[in-house]
Each structure stands twice: as structure tokens, then as C-alpha cells.
Structure 1
Amino acid sequence: MMTLTCHNRWLLSRLTQAIAMLGLATANAFAQAGALDPTFNPGAGVSGAVYAVAVQPDGKLIIGGEFSAFNGAPRSNLARLNSDGSLDATFNPGVIGRVETLLLQPDGKMVIGGSFSSVNGVPRRSLARLNADGSADLTFTAETDPNGVVYALARQSDGKLLVAGDFVNLAAARRERLARLAADGSLDAGFNPNAAANSAVFALAVQPNGRILLGGAFTQVNGVPRSRLARLTADGALDLTFSQGGETDGVVNALGLQPDGRILIGGDFRFVAGVARGGVARLEPGGALDTTFGAFGGVAGDLLPCVYALVTQPDGRVLIGGEFTRVNGAARSRIARLNPLDGSLDTGFDPGSGASSAVYALALQADGRLVAGGAFASFAGAPRAGVARLLGDDPGCASAVAPTTASFSALGGEGVVTVTATGDCTWRAVSNVPWITILSGATGGGNGAVTYRVAAHRGRQRSGTLTVSGRAVTITQAISAQETLGLFRRADGFFYLRNSLTSGVADTAFF
């Protein structure tokens, strides 16, 4: 008998789809970040669930999951959509079996993983690469076939491919739930053959320094205790410098990297390092729990509350999707956005009644709009089966902000950002760092201004951002005066204590 856990998503999708659809809601009175994008219309959508979404450079979308049709047209578990949500009729790969993960390559090809047996009639077990037109890429080694499910893929800077999931053999070699392939799909024997997890790996992330983060259901990696989260060196050895202080009491489904090196995790855990963190948390670069983020309760709900997907916006705010009905105590149905400073709920992102069932995948478009995939039949009360697109922070408003950069001395000061917008355009301003404070203009409509204060400091140069009407305003603050003390004697016979400051303070004499 199958055990119902947070990651049995194909089973959960069938249970939650049994819930009756809500009545259609009226349209928003004005365009709000998080609102359903009315310009994206997938029609009847998918006949099942979407587990993976990827955005192509041309704006088209690839969706993978467990479905047999899209908007009434036959499509077996993989489809491509035009930017308006309609089906791209030129792409029909026909995957026999479910698709769990997608990875787009720079050359336009795509790698898919899951639990399938063939692509376009070509035998391919659980792992395949497709050409841009959807045909099977026959140059990708067929003998790579893993003997289980592939849940996660990641591409390294050298083009090699990391593959993770719930398998124990790959390319006729023992590879327990993790392997690395060369660009042609052949097994990379130079990657630690002893790299192994004792249970499923659901998430991968490659850090800028080449180290590899793993998240999943495992409790050991390379034979060493690691509770559902671990880091490997670039060659696959266990990174012993990564703290076990971020261990969780439940599955890790999603990983995210921030520019400052901190790590976001999402899953069905209730505690991280013994500290309450409901389904979402942030770790320091070394792996210890970041106690400044996520202390507000996290996700909650009636049916196995958990986070399946997370995406970090360029301004640092964190989008989460999953199976939950509340976030930090506030109603948020299966999708929400968190502030980057402390993980508090971003109330400026309002998805209305949200998704009617689980959100399994999120993808951010270049214009800031968000694509969600899942097992839902409706979103914000409107029919959207399996895929929906939400408005970003500048949801169609013809607005501009100026200036987009500003510099301050170490003493700090106040600044103003002007907003030029049409009269029906509503906007908001958010500081993404604690040392920049919004004084006025946190919300507005049409033309307006945002006044802010930069705090004084002592230390190195620093930079932070404001997000104003969806635009980033970068604030740079100069290094503070660096003081060097020295004692010397001049020809006049006096001793001097030199206070050498970048601001040019004179020497001080004393007897």
C-alpha cells in the first residue's frame, strides 16, 4: 500500500482534484501583483497535473507532468505553449509516462526526467534529451537509462549534467540516487562513484563555487548522517564544512540560492535545527539556520501542508508554491510571496482566492510575471486547469521611476524616487534591506514620489535596493572613515598621535 506523503504528488493531485470547483470570481478592480493575468488563457488547460514549468528565451513555455491532453488536443505529458497560453501545435513529443523535471539548455535543447518509457516512439527510460522541435535527441546516450524516477536536474558551468532522484543504477553502474553525466549523456566516471543517498533526492542546486546542494528524504549521504539536506564538493565528495545545523524533521522538496550565498529550503518540515520553521526556511552560507528569517509560522493547512517550489525574484523576494492554505497565519491558498529581510508575508502580492489545489512548479518570466503549474482546476475563481500566469509588480502599468541608482556617504541621508504612471496605475515601494527606510510613498497611484532614508554606518561599502513599482532602485553607500592610529615625534620635539582618516582629520599633538 502506498503511503501518503507530501511528495506523493501524483496521488495527492487525484485526491485534491476531487474538490468541487469554486464559482467564478469577478475580475480585480485594478491590476494587482499576484492577480491572474487575463492575457494568458490556456482554455481547458491540462487533463491532469503539471509538475514542471520552464520559460524559453522566446517567451514560450514548456510544461511537463501527468496529462493526456491540453485544451482538448492530445498531448502526452509534455507540451509547449505560446506566450498567450495557447498550444504550440508544432511541438508534440509524446512522452509515455510522467515528466517530473525540465532543464533547458543554452542551445535550445531540453532534458527531461521523470518516470517514462519512451519519447516520440524512441525508447528512453526516465531520462531523455529533446531537440528544440520535440524530437528525441539521438546523440544523447540511450544507455544512461536510470532504473527509477528522476526528480531533479542541474547543469554545471562546464555543461555537465547532474541527475538525482530515486534510482540505484544508471548507465549499468551503481549510482545511488545521484550521478553526473557528460554533455553527450555518458556517465562521468570522474564524479565520486561513492556519492550516494539512502533515500530519494528531490532537489538540486549548484552554487557559484561549484559545490552541489541536495535536498530530499534521505538521512545519510556517502554513508554519513545527513538529515534531508547535504552539500557535496564539485567532485562529489561530502562537504564536511557544511554545517548539520540546518537539519530538518521532514522532506526538503525545493532549494534556492540567494546572491549573498544564503540558501532557501522548502518542504514539509516543521522544524529546522530544532527551531520551528513551517515548510520554508533560510540557511546561512555555511549551513546553519538563519534565525532572522521565517519566524512567523510558515505554511499551514489541513492536508499535509508543504512547499513544493520556490523562486527568488531579482529584488530578493521569495515566491513559494505548494499545498497550504495559510502563510504566517494569513490566508494564502497554495501560493504566496515573502519579504527578503525576515520572511514575513508580502501583502502587496495578492493572489485572491489562489489555486484550488496544489501548486507544484513556479517559473519567473523576464517581465516579472509568474507562471504556476500544478493540480489545480481553477485559480482566483477562474478556470485554469494545471497552468496559470500571474501579474508581476508592474502589472501592465506604463510607469517609470527615476533615478534608478543613488549614492550616499557613510553619514547616510534622505533621497527621493519619482514615479511616472498613468492615473489608473497603482504601485508600491518596498525596501529590501534594513538600513534603507521608506518615509513616505509606500503605496500610490498615478504620478507620485517615494521618500526614503539611508542610515549612517561604519564599515565597508554596501549596496541595497528599493523596489518601486516593480523596478529596482540600487542604493550604494560609501565606506566609512577607516581609522589608523600611530605615534611619532616631529622635529619640534612634540609627540603626535596620528588619526589617519579618509575624511582628512588633522594630526593631534600632545605633551
Structure 2
Amino acid sequence: MKKLYSLLLFIVVGILSANAQVVDETFVQPTAYKAAKITVIKELSDGKILLGGNIQFFKEKKVSNLIRLNADYSLDETFVFNGDPKSEIKDVKFQSNGNIIVLTTIDNFGFADYFKLYQLNANGETLKEVSTIFNATAIAVQADDKILVTGGAIGYYDFTSCYLKRFNSDFSLDETFKNDLAFNASTNNVLVSSNGIYVGGLFTAIDGITKNSLVKLNSDGVIDTTFDVGAGANGSAFSMTLQDDGKIIVGGNFSHIVDGLPSNNMCRLNLDGSIDTSFSAQYYNYANSVITIKDSHLYVDAGINDGTTFGYHLIRLKPDGSLDENFNRIKLNEFGGDYFVSSFVNGKIFYNNSEYTGNRYGISISDLEGNAIDASELKPSKPGSFQAGSYFDGKLVVKGDFVKINNVETYGIALLDANGDVDESFVFPTYRGDIKQIQVVNNSVFVGTKTQFINLDANGKLIKDFNFKVDSDLLEIQQFNVFDNGKILLTDQWNLVLLNEQGIQESKFILNSDSNFWITNLRFEMQNDKVLCAGQFESFGAGYRPKSKLMRFNIDKTIDESFNTNVGADGAINRINILDSGEIIIAGNFFNYNNVSVPNQIVKLSKDGEMDLKFNENLSLYHIGYSEYHDYRKIEVIDGVIYITEGDAKVTAINLDGTLKKDFEMPAVIDNITDLVAVENKEETAPKTDRKATLENSTNNYMFAMGTTKSTTGVSSVIVKVNLGKSGSLSVGPTPEKLASKVQVFPVPVQEKLNLSFSTTILPNKISVYSANGKELYTAKVQSADNLEVDMSQFSSGIYFVKLFSDSGVITKKIVKK
């Protein structure tokens, strides 16, 4: 009887596994890379270069935020930093014996254990570390190798003041220094010179003594009363740079008088703290940025308005603060003034914040006159992100924040085939802004960013750049739809206009005729040949609460009177989905629609706007998500099932009548889902302008899920292909494929070292590599799940399988060796 029971159990589990929602392992998850965050650039005495920040890869090799490069920009693999991989480098200083002092933080959040101070030897090995430096903001190293650390945050962990501490070279607290100095507000920077110690911040008093923004201390930490800056920065942050003569360059926000007029631009302080009137500049920089000095000239990141546009540039100032016109100013990113850093290396300028204007990996090079120098061998990066998808010529087209996927360099857009391989023939070579939307029409891709609207061919080359700001009433791009006849419907969230195929405004929809209201949060979807539009009506009227309405227009701009607009929603409508039947699903931040209470903030309407009350009733029998407020990211309909995803990664499946699909469970471990994309069977071929693909030739239903997942080494972005099972047979089982979704491998394809990361629920104890014909080629015990690597450099090119053995089961991942 026991044997019969075991056999029956085996059969049942097998059936469940066959029909469960599982990850399709034939789709090899691609790896997205974006420019590293560079916070430290240092030239070493032997000509090598130290880079720090949030750097997780260098030329696809896994690294840990602090790296050393050879003079030819190759990675110096003799330098290895083994600090917390989740902590980014905030600052680096050097001691006289070559030891390196490193300040790290995790995302700059104010938690006590998120800040550490390391002492490394010349090859990155940790000698000492200190974690009792809550909210450390800056460090400095004295000539005697003692270390100053400033920071703190009033109100956290019973902190009533901010601090400045000094450590001996062995990291013991220096008892000869006044370590109990109490600043009454934040400190942001610290400098050391032969004249004394300078501390800057938002404070107005130290130990009860008035000192605005900047104070000079003697070597024992006692206040130097001969130095006084008067009003200082009046509670604003600023940067400080020390000149060789002991004077201090202040990046901005110090109130002073220039030519008889008040100014908050850059200034220079004399040795007694007074304003140096021989220095006058028309520029300022961010408090978290660095001004560098070479040959008495200042290299500054500054916002410049040339009369038509505003942008950040690296400029050079003369010793008196005037602009050096002989320097070719260097354009930086849109927000290039934030955390800007530059350094002089081998007679060249290395600078960050340039992934969209210079080297795509965020660190670029120029000569001392501002002329660009090739930096293509500098490739520090960190994980990029996949945000949304559509289909193009039978392939998945993805958009996101990345400069490379696998080994294909492309800005923000890429094509993937059914197995996850990147189409190398399609490359978007230049950055044009964060991508809002993509649409595929007649073998070309339309791309909308906030400020640009363009059309690309099948290889990613530019066909047309539409000048919508000149040719229409639009201020920006929020959403668009390109019709088969070439005409384009667009909204900037305030207006809805129709452009002809040349991009010239042809007509404008009249959305509201009441001057007491205006419309925002505008969005639309096409319902066959009609435009279904949702807008949020706003008013300055006292006590008015914003309401949203659905409106339907004919393509000739006339209102469709057959649609039931009625009262609408008592909040924002953020999602509209048109079913194949013409029925409408809407979702958003509302609790009532047409004065009817709405459970779960989702409504189903007939094709002409009548509310489906039975759907509403069924929806009230259960709760979606974890809160009464919902952040719905995507609604996708597959084979009569509505899949709804929220920002917390919960995916709920409901039937078209509003009842819950109880036998659905999302298998992939995704902590934040950004998009769901349906894949249809070949029997149900959809038009190329549709979001649905024709990649499968079976009765199974598939869906792509995009988002981010957390692992032991941080957060990474993933695309998971989910087999939803056959129509009407969704069920849940504890399958190996579900375990596989908890493991990430990179890079893809691999050339040398294969890296693996895991969700915190997976603890592997053994790893093996097999050839395509099943021969075991490598096996090893897993001592730690952190930074697990397999050296694949001696393996031939081809397909391999990695097996991970754990108490949860055996996990198999397909990999490609280049």
C-alpha cells in the first residue's frame, strides 16, 4: 500500500510540476550594465590609477567598488579590496607609508552600521577597520598620518550634536585631540594644512561658541579665534579646496560683495577667514563636488546658460576667478554638477558624470586644454536595469537604464531573441535622454524621451528626429501612439495632439471647455479607431478634490457621445487596458467610480463605459496586495486571465468576471516588477504593432516579467520568461525551475570568470559544471555564497550547464562561453 501511495504521489507531483508557472530556462537571462558611480579618482606615484565609488564590474569582471588600473587602463588584478560589496566608496586618502584610508557607506543612508573606515595596504588588503563613525561625511589625513573623521546627524541614536574625531594610525582614538567638540548642525567637509584644521558645514556654533559654517582648529582641536568668516554660508552647504598658499576656495553660498553687489558665487578666503577681494568669479559648484587646482588655475563644474539652454560643464578659471577662454569647456551630464570629481593623471584630466556626453562608462579624459582623449578602454560599470518591453520583428525589445547588455553596447534599447541572446545588428549608439516609451511600427522603432521623439530603423540608425517643441503645442513627451498611416497621437500629460507623418501638428483635442478647471495626468489608449482618454481635472476652488474622467473621442477630434462619461473617479486613473472584447479595465488611486465604492482600486467597464457591477462585487471578496493603496505597474491579459503587478512584485491573477485565479503563483523572485509582457502562440498571430509576440509554437502560455531582485551582493535587474502552463490548467508545484529563478549568473556570455549570486533563501553547498553532452568538467564545495566564482577561461566556446546543490534541491543554469 505504501508503494502504491508513493507512486500516486509521484504522479500527482509530476502533473503539478508539468503545469505549474515555472521559469523557462531556455531563456538565458541577459545582464544589463550601466556606468559606474565614480567618486574617487587618484593618480598613484607609480603612474597607476585608483578608482572608487559604486563599481561592480570592470570590462565584465566582477570587482568590489575600489579598483586599481595600470597605466594602459587595464585592471591591476594584484589589487583586491575585500570590503562589504554593498558599500560604495565615499572618499580615499593616503598615509605617508603608502597605506590607503577608505571611507565607505551604503547608499548614504543614516544608519550607524552603514559607515566604515578602512586602512588598506598598497594592494588593498584590510589592515584595520572602524565602524563607530556614524554618518561620516568626510575624512582627512594629517602629515603625521593621523586621521580626522567628521559627521553625525542630530536626532539619530540620541545624537545631540555632530562630531570631529581624530584617530591614530593604528585606528585607536587619539586622546591628545579634543574629540568631544559639539557642532550644533551637520559638518560636510574637513581640510588639513600646515596652518591648522578646517571644518565646514551647516553649523552656527561649536561648544556654544558662535562659528558660522566654517571653523579653524589648532592641532589639538581647540578653536583658533584668529580665524573668522563672519556670516559664512548662512546655513547652506558648500565645497572647500585648499590652495598651496593656505587660502581656501569656497565653491559657493558664502555671502559677499562683488563690485558693490551681493553675491553667493565662488569666493576665496584669506588666512584669517576674510573674503579675498582680489578673487571674483561668476560661477559656483555643488557642495558635494570637488574643485581641483593645477598651475594656479581652477577646474570647476559649473552650470552655464548660453542664452538658449542650461547645462553643466567643466570649465577653467584663472587665478583671479575670471573665465579662461582658452579652455574648451567640457559638457557634462544633465545633472553633471552633482558629486562631480576630477583629477590630474599623467598630465591629463580624468573626470566623471559624463556617460551621456563622453565615455559611456562615466569616466572620460581630456587634455589640459579641454580636448577629448579616447577613454574607450575605461569600462567601470554597475548593474543596469530593464524597465519595459515590447516586440519588434518577432523579438523582445527592451528599454531601460543601461549602456550595455551582455557584450553589446547600446544606450537604453536592445533586441533579444527567444533564448535571451542580444541582437548585435540593432544598436542605439547615442544617448538622447531617459526613454519614456517605445513602439514598433512597420519594421522601425519610435522612441520617446522627455525632450525628444525619434524614429529608428531595424539597425537602430536614425530615420527621423521630430522637432515636436517647435511643430506642436507639446512641452514634453509622456505617451504616444503611431498609426499605420504614419500619423502620431501624443500627450505631454496636459495636451493631446495629432501630428501628421512629418511630425507637424495637424489638430488638437479639446479636452475641457470650463476655464475653472485644467487637466493633468493625461493618458490614453486606442479602442479600435477611437481614442479613450483619462484626465485628472484640477481646480483652485476651495475644498475641491481632484477627479478623473474617461472620455472617448473619434479620430477627427469630435467627442463620442455614445460613451458614458458619467461622474468618473474620485482620484487619479493611472492605468487603462482595452480587452479584446472592447471592454475596459482601469486602475489608479481612487476609491469610488461613478459614486460606487471600488474594491482594490480596479474597475471593469463595458466598451461604452457602463460599470460592470458583478465584476465589482466579485472583486470585493478578496484583497490584492498588502495595503488599501496600490501602486499598479502593469495590467496584462493572457488567455482570458488578467495579470496585475504592483511595485512590491506581487502579481495577482484574476478572471474576467473579477473572481480570483487561486491557482496562480509567480515563480520568479523579483522584488520590484516594472513590466509584464505577454507572449502569444503562433496560432494566434498578432499584428506587428501589437505588444504580443509570436515566439512560441505550443499550447503553453508565456509571459516575460522584468524588474529587480536582491541577492547577497546587492540588487540586480532581471528578465524572467515564465511558462504559465496550458490554457485552463494553471497550478502550483515546488519545481526546480522555481529554485532556478532565485539564482543569477553573469556575465552573459562569459569569457573568464563566471559569477553567481543568490537570493537569501538559497544556501548552496556544491557547484558543478557540465558539458552539453552531460560530462562533468568541474566540481567544488561552496564555502561561502558571497562572490561565488568559477574560472571558465580554459573552457572552449559553447554551451555548458552549471548545477548548484543545496538543501532546497538541485538548481541548473544554462550558460554560454564565448
Establish whether TM, by shorter chain, passes 0.5: yes
Deviation at 1:250, TM superposition (A): 4.9
Moved more, 223-232 or 62-71: 62-71
CA–CA separation in structure 2 for the residues paired with 1:56 and 1:113: 18
Does 2:361 match 1:385?
A: yes
* Pairwise CA distance, 1:73: 2.4
Residue in structure 1 matching 2:268, options 271, 275, 282: 282
Match of 1:68 in 2: 56
- SS of 2:75's equivalent in the other structure is coil
TM-score scaled by length of structure 1: 0.57
Equivalent runs, 1:14-25 vs 2, <5 Å: none
Q: 1:253 to 1:88 in 2, by over 3 A?
A: farther
| Aligned residue type for 1:88 | D
Structure 2 partner of 1:333: 312
- Counterpart CA distance in 2 for 1:133 and 1:149 is 27
Q: Please, what TM-score do these two structures have when normalized by structure 2?
A: 0.37
Question: 1:335 and 1:90 mapped to 2: Cα distance?
Answer: 33
Query: Pick from 230, 240, 243: which aligns with 1:245?
Result: 230
Indicate yes or no: 2:277 matched with 1:291.
Answer: yes
Read off the aligned partner of 2:297 and give its amino acid letter: R
The one-letter amino acid of 2:202's match is A
Matched, 1:262 2:241: no
Query: Contact 1:370/1:389 (CA < 8 Å) preserved in 2?
Result: yes
Q: Distance in 2 between matches of 1:110 and 1:328?
A: 45
1:111-260 equivalences in 2 (<5 Å): 111-116=101-106, 125-137=115-127, 140=128, 142=129, 144-166=130-152, 176-209=162-195, 211-245=196-230, 247-260=232-245
> C-alpha distance in 1, partners of 2:74/2:236?
35
Distance 2:33 2:94 in 1: 22
CA displacement at 1:394 relative to structure 2:
10
Residue 332 of structure 1, CA deviation: 6.6
Deviations 1:385-420 (A, max 9, x none): 3322221159899xxxxxxxxxxxxxxxxxxxxxxx
SS in 2 for 1:99: strand
CA distance in 2, matches of 1:149, 1:307: 15
* 1:242 partner letter: F
The C-alpha deviation readout for 1:358-411, integer Å capped at 9, x for no partner, is: 25354543643222234x423xx33343322221159899xxxxxxxxxxxxxx
Change (3 A) 1:227 1:273: farther
Partners of 2:327 and 2:370 within 8 A in 1: no
The aligned counterpart of 2:442 is: none
Choose from 322, 331, 337 the match for 1:344: 322
- Asked if 1 retains the 8 angstrom alpha-carbon contact of 2:247 and 2:270, the reply is yes
Q: Deviations over 1:188-246 (max 9, x none)?
A: 0110133232333222211223x111122323223322222111111101111112336
Shift in CA distance, 384/253, structure 1 to aligned 2, threshold 3 Å = farther
Which residue, out of 346, 358, 362, partners 2:336? Answer: 358
Q: Kindly indicate whether residue 297 of structure 2 is the aligned counterpart of residue 317 of structure 1.
A: yes
8 Å CA contact retained: 1:146, 1:168:
no
Q: 2: CA distance between counterparts of 1:351 and 1:297? A: 15
Report if the CA contact (8 A) 1:216-1:252 is conserved: yes
Q: How far 1:46 sits from its partner (Å)?
A: 6.4
Could you tell me which amino acid in structure 1 is paired with residue 351 of structure 2? A
Distance 1:104 1:356, change over 3 A: farther
Select 1:370's aligned residue among 349, 353, 369: 349
**Partner residue, 1:472:** none
Whole-Å separation in 1 of the counterparts to 2:144 and 2:308: 44
Q: 2: CA distance between counterparts of 1:251 and 1:81?
A: 37
Confirm or deny: 8 A CA contact 1:281 1:293 kept in the other structure: yes
Aligned CA distance change for structure 1 residues 167 and 110 (closer, same or farther; 3 Å): farther
Report how far residue 270 of structure 1 moved. Answer: 6.3
Q: SS in structure 2 opposite 1:163? A: strand
Residue matched to 1:56:
44
Higher RCO, 1 vs 2 (CA within 8 Å, ≥6 residues apart)? 1
Counterpart amino acid of residue 107 in structure 1: N
| Cα separation, partners in 2 of 1:279 and 1:271, compared to 1, 3 Å | same
Mapped to 2, the partners of 1:191 and 1:328 lie a distance apart of 52
Give the Cα–Cα distance (whole angstroms) in 2 for the partners of residues 250 and 373 of structure 1.
28
What is the deviation of 1:350?
Answer: 1.3
SS in 1 for 2:230: helix
Structure 1 residue runs of 4+, over 6 Å off? 327-332, 394-397
Partner of 2:404: none
Q: Following TM superposition, by how much is the alpha carbon of 1:126 offset from its aligned partner in structure 2, in angstroms?
A: 1.5
Q: CA RMSD in A?
A: 3.6
Larger Rg: 2
The residue identity in structure 2 corresponding to 1:155 is: V
Task: Give aligned pairs, total.
Answer: 329
Distance 1:242 1:325, change over 3 A: same
- What is the deviation of 1:116? 4.8
Maintained 8 Å contact 2:41/2:341? yes
Change (3 A) 1:157 1:339: same
Asked if the contact 1:45–1:387 (Cα under 8 Å) also holds between the matched residues in 2, the reply is no
Asked whether the 8 Å contact 1:327–1:336 carries over to 2, the reply is: no
Structure 1 residues 92 and 331 mapped into 2: Cα distance closer, same or farther (>3 Å)? same
* Amino acid paired to 1:368: G
Residue deviations 1:468-497, cap 9 Å, x none? xxxxxxxxxxxxxxxxxxxxxxxxxxxxxx
Alignment CA distance shift 1:159-1:333 (3 Å): same
Contact map agreement 1:201 1:215 (CA 8 A) in 2: yes
- Rate the CA distance shift 1:166–1:187 in 2: closer, same or farther, 3 A: same
Task: State how far apart, in whole Å, the 2-side matches of 1:126 and 1:190 are.
Answer: 23
State the distance in 1 between where 2:105 and 2:143 align. Answer: 27
Unaligned 5+ residue runs, structure 2? 1-31, 108-112, 374-818
Using the TM superposition, give the Cα deviation of residue 330 of structure 1 relative to its aligned residue in structure 2, in angstroms: 11
Q: Deviations over 1:407-462 (max 9, x none)?
A: xxxxxxxxxxxxxxxxxxxxxxxxxxxxxxxxxxxxxxxxxxxxxxxxxxxxxxxx
Are 1:150 and 1:165, in contact at CA under 8 Å, matched by a contact in 2? yes
Q: 1:276 to 1:113 in 2, by over 3 A?
A: farther
Q: Aligned partner of 2:120: which letter?
A: L
Amino acid at match of 1:189: E
CA distance in 1, matches of 2:192, 2:326: 31
